Structure 1
Amino acid sequence: MADQFVEELDPESVLLVHPDATWLLDGLSPDRVTTIWEGCAENGAYFFGRGRVADGAQWMRQVIALYDSWLSQQPSVPALSAVDLYERRELAGRVLEAVREFESILGPQTANALAECVRSCCPDLAFRLLRRALSSAAQSPDHTTLSQGQYVQVSDLGMAFDYGEYVVSDLQYLVDAT
């Protein structure tokens, strides 16, 4: 992770890491953060097995420490706007519906952890993690596909979150063409 915090990064991009890590650390138990990381990140199942970190809470503390270190080396850093910190609580119900829709793909543990993330952390973060999980599931031996209706559900949520047109369309390759 330290290799990702390079000097050339846009400070605003780095500033967005802190709220996400803090929401996960403060809002979920260490085992839930571990479950989310394992279920939503490509190759996430192997991350904790390497002995680098014991659980998701330790991982989030390391991310925050890297963030703090990077930030301390910057001559000036802009503040995040209210828009950047807006959690989109009004979309929580729709994100929970999407998590339930994809439970068979995610598995019950990951789906339950994401649902808890919606309620205890931030709906926007939970939706971004759901998108990552769907993309990661496509790499599995089962090669996950989405129906056109499922893709539309995810795409509509992306629009509700004011994501750019390419943020959700990167999942379009998962739509079953048959």
Structure 2
Amino acid sequence: MTARSSEFMFGLPWVMGFFHQDWTRDHPTETAAVADQFVEELDPESVLLVRHDATRLLDGLSPDRITTIWEGCAENGAYFFGRGRVADGAQWMRQVIALCDAWLSQQPSVPALSAADLYEGQELADRVRDAVREFEPALGPQTADALAECIRSCSPDLAFRLLLRALSSAAQSPDHTTLSHGQYVQLSDLGTAFNYGEYVVSDLQYLVDAT
């Protein structure tokens, strides 16, 4: 398989990273936080991958499930829908798709996503499901159940990247989630199986408990 288009986290989990603790200081709305990151110099593949992920969630999961995933994966996601501007996860995915379409419409040409970028890893579903259950204590049962449904109804690839983002989010919680060396190796091996770029999983290496 050829390499994916990005060495870093991509798709919807990349967008989740825009919503750090202080995002409201710089952006008046949720859509502005995304639009400001969709700069002119961005590779079209980056936006296409966001659109692809958002469409998969919208087509595969109920609004409540999408809401649970966003709340469990984005930093401070529990407060995201409490501002009254976005009703639920489904409405938010439609807004994200609209932002993607607006940006793509301004490009002189838009390539098709490669087979590598569209790889879903269906044969890795059981391994991703095991990883979700491994980290259920850190994720909470609702997020774990939503990710397990995402494996079935969307794709193992998307569910695994969402799991990585959820672990990063959980690390910011009062419980300060950490990873054992064995757990990190499990995630790294899955990242290799999905043919991810160097930094997709290694961004979590700082969570490995050194004791």
TM class, shorter-length? over 0.9
Which residue in 1 is equivalent to 2:169?
136
Which residue in 2 is equivalent to 1:93?
126
Partners of 2:85 and 2:209 in 1: CA distance: 38
Candidates 53, 60, 75, aligned match of 2:86: 53
- The answer for unaligned runs of 5 or more in structure 2 is 1-33
Partners of 2:191 and 2:42 in 1: CA distance: 25
Q: Deviations over 1:103-162 (max 9, x none)?
A: 000000000000000110011111111000111111111111111111111111111111
Partners of 1:125 and 1:142 in 2: CA distance: 26
Give the match's secondary structure for 1:79. coil
Q: Does 1:40 align with 2:73?
A: yes
Q: Deviations over 1:14-47 (max 9, x none)?
A: 1111110010000000000000000011121111
Cα root mean square deviation, aligned: 1.0
Cα deviation, residue 48, structure 1:
0.7
Give the match's secondary structure for 2:51. helix
Q: Number of matched residues?
A: 178
Q: Does 1:13 align with 2:46?
A: yes
Partners of 1:44 and 1:99 in 2: CA distance: 19
Which residue in 2 is equivalent to 1:173?
206
Q: Does 1:161 align with 2:194?
A: yes
Q: Deviations over 1:40-84 (max 9, x none)?
A: 111211111111210000000001111111111111111111221
- Kindly indicate which of the two structures has a greater share of residues assigned to helix: 1
Which residue in 1 is equivalent to 2:59?
26
Give the match's secondary structure for 2:179. coil
Candidates 86, 107, 115, aligned match of 2:148: 115
Q: Does 1:124 align with 2:157?
A: yes
Q: Does 1:71 align with 2:93?
A: no
Q: Does 1:62 align with 2:62?
A: no
Partners of 2:43 and 2:82 in 1: CA distance: 32
Partners of 2:196 and 2:100 in 1: CA distance: 24
TM-score by length of 1: 0.96
Give the match's secondary structure for 2:116. helix
Partners of 1:52 and 1:86 in 2: CA distance: 34
TM-score by length of 2: 0.82
- The answer for unaligned runs of 5 or more in structure 1 is none
Q: Does 1:80 align with 2:113?
A: yes
The share of aligned pairs that are identical, in percent, is 87
